[in-house]
Amino acid sequence: GPDSEEHTGIRIRGYPMTTDVIRQILLNDSDVFASIGFTYGTPATKEIRCFRSDFPNGTTIPCLTYHDIGGGYPDPVGRSIAFQVTAWTQDEISCKTLADKVEKALAEFSGTVNGIRIEGIDPISFVDSYREAATNLWYSYRKFSMLYGVA
């Protein structure tokens, strides 16, 4: 059964629930998708540039990374998780623009994704216009809280 396998993230009544639902919401948003598209990897392994935790070496920029950063267990409505999405670009202005597209796609979202009922996603905080010394890339991130349950 589902409990016999190891999964990252949290579980809903025995089934794995990770921030992969966030990835799906982002990729279903036409503005976000248009900014990151299918350009990572070889023609046989093309991948959308939206990665859990970190992006692979050689990834075309811009791209997004996402990961969960905490959670809680409110009763009886459902559960909550805090997560972060980071936009990575070559320049400051496009970085903030992409992060704003992410915020617009996620804020106030509700619906069912992969059998998970998303009750709501609320922005918590944001950071804009930082430059990573090692890669010379600009990054901006948005932190959110998501309330979810079983559909």
Nearest-angstrom CA–CA distance, 10 and 149? 12
CA distances from 52 to 66, 78, 117, 119 (A): 5, 24, 21, 22
Q: Which helix (H) or strand (E) holds 27?
A: helix 20-27
- Kindly indicate the confidence band of residue 8, based on its pLDDT and cuts at 50, 70 and 90: very low
Nearest-angstrom CA–CA distance, 83 and 81? 6
Mean pLDDT over 7-24 rounds to: 55
Task: Round the average pLDDT of the chain to a whole number and report it.
Answer: 80
Please state whether the predicted TM-score (pTM) of the whole model is above 0.85: no
**In this structure, what token pair is assigned to residue 31?**
């503005």
Q: Is the pLDDT of residue 16 over 50?
A: no
Nearest-angstrom CA–CA distance, 54 and 95? 17
pLDDT of residue 58: 82
Q: Is the pLDDT of residue 41 over 70?
A: no
Residues in contact with 43: Cβ distance below 8 Å, sequence separation at least 6, in sequence order = none
List pLDDT tens digits, range 98-119: 999 999 999 978 999 888 888 8
pLDDT of residue 119: 87
Between 69 and 145, where is the model more confident?
145
Q: Is the pLDDT of residue 19 over 70?
A: no
Nearest-angstrom CA–CA distance, 127 and 99? 9
Mean pLDDT over 64-92 rounds to: 81
